[in-house]
């Protein structure tokens, strides 16, 4: 997602990722469950219903596909607002630390480091190590880093 030079929407990128997973895992007995939750998360992110109601329709996050569904829902619904997306992703009775972590990763990759409010970064333990690792990962995939 970070190096998508085609300027596609987050929704398009998620659909492309779903298509790749469908191709790689073609024939797997659990594939349709995964595809359904991705499609449901996208559908729910486009309605005006309450976040908690929508999240409950995706599960509680105790299993991987539910965590992914909730995180995709929150990332899509709040794709330009890191704080709102992360807050929505943790305000439910399920495995909210997992859904918050995954949502934060998706949104952070999507909007970039500079777009994340300082309140999320100021007291982050090992920030210098994390940024160095991000630079190293970035350089592995591309000659220049354009994250931040």
Mapping DSSP onto H, E and C, the string for 46-78 reads CCCCCHHHHHHHHCCCCCHHHHHHHHHHHHHHC
Does the residue 21 lie in any domain?
A: yes
Q: What is the band of 136 on the pLDDT scale with cuts at 50, 70, 90?
A: confident
Does the residue 127 lie in any domain?
A: no
Containing domain of residue 82, as a range? 10-116
Alpha carbons 109 and 112: distance in angstroms, whole number: 5
Q: What is the band of 141 on the pLDDT scale with cuts at 50, 70, 90?
A: low
Q: What is the band of 146 on the pLDDT scale with cuts at 50, 70, 90?
A: low
Alpha carbons 114 and 91: distance in angstroms, whole number: 25
Asked whether residue 87 carries a pLDDT value surpassing 90, the answer given is yes
With a pLDDT cut of 70, the percent of the chain lying above it is 90
Whole-number pLDDT of residue 1:
44
Q: What is the band of 147 on the pLDDT scale with cuts at 50, 70, 90?
A: very low
Tally the domains of the chain. 1
Does the residue 88 lie in any domain?
A: yes
Helices (H) and strands (E) in the chain, counts: 7, 0
Does the residue 130 lie in any domain?
A: no
Does the residue 48 lie in any domain?
A: yes
CA separation, residue 129 to residues 75, 125, 135 (Å): 25, 9, 10
Task: For residues 74-86, give the mean pLDDT.
Answer: 98
Alpha carbons 88 and 113: distance in angstroms, whole number: 20
Does the residue 90 lie in any domain?
A: yes
Does the residue 65 lie in any domain?
A: yes
Instruction: For CA atoms 81, 50, 58, 47, give the dihedral sign.
Output: negative
Whole-number pLDDT of residue 44:
98
Does the residue 45 lie in any domain?
A: yes
Asked whether residue 137 carries a pLDDT value surpassing 90, the answer given is no
């Amino acid at each position: 997602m970070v190096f998508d030079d085609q300027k596609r929407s987050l929704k398009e990128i998620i659909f492309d990722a779903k298509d790749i997973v469908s191709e790689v895992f073609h024939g797997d007995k659990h594939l349709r469950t995964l595809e359904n939750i991705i499609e449901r998360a996208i559908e729910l992110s486009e309605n005006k219903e309450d976040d908690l109601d929508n999240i409950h329709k995706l599960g509680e996050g105790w299993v991987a596909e539910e965590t992914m569904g909730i995180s995709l829902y929150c990332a899509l619904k709040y794709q330009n607002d890191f704080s709102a997306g992360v807050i929505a992703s943790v305000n439910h009775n399920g495995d909210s630390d997992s859904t918050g972590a995954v949502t934060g990763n998706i949104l952070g990759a999507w909007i970039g480091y500079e777009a994340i409010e300082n309140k999320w970064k100021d007291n982050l333990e090992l920030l210098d190590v994390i940024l160095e690792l991000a630079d190293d990962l970035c350089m592995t995939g591309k000659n220049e880093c354009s994250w931040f």
